């Protein structure tokens, strides 16, 4: 599956524990990444500053569902059930 252009759910729903430029403590779950554009595209895509966890995310139907709202709901649920 390819990412849905303009979705951005993976840049909002999950937490990111590693530092991100402008977010030295990472990003809490449910908070929009500072680098997510108004059209929901990653401003760090392809840059070395992009966190490894972001580059490793692969869109899959089980995680991304059928649309953006589905993806935010599923990723948010996964975040809650896997939180330590």
Cα 81 from Cα 84, distance rounded (Å): 9
Number of domains the chain contains? 1
Asked if 7 and 40 touch (Cβ cutoff 8 Å), the reply is yes
Count of other CB atoms within 10 angstroms of residue 4:
16
Q: What is the per-residue pLDDT across 39-64, written as a single tens digit (0 to 9) for each?
A: 999 999 999 999 999 999 999 999 99
The verdict on residue 1 lying in a domain is no
Does a structural domain hold residue 24? Answer: yes
**Spatial distance between the Cα atoms of 62 and 48, rounded to a whole number of angstroms:** 28
What is the domain range of residue 59? 9-82
For the chain, the farthest-separated pair of C-alpha atoms sits apart, in whole angstroms, at 33
Using 50, 70 and 90 to split pLDDT, how confident is the model at 27? very high
pTM as predicted: 0.88
Q: Tokens at residue 29, please?
A: 């779950």
């Amino acid at each position: 599956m390819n990412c849905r252009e303009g979705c951005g759910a993976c840049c909002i729903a999950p937490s990111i524990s590693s530092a991100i430029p402008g977010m030295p403590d990472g990003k809490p779950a449910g908070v929009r990444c500072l680098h997510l554009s108004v059209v929901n595209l990653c401003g760090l895509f392809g840059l070395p500053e992009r966190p490894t966890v972001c580059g490793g995310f692969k869109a899959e139907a089980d995680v991304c569902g059928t649309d953006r709202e589905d993806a935010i709901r599923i990723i948010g649920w996964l975040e809650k059930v896997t939180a330590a």
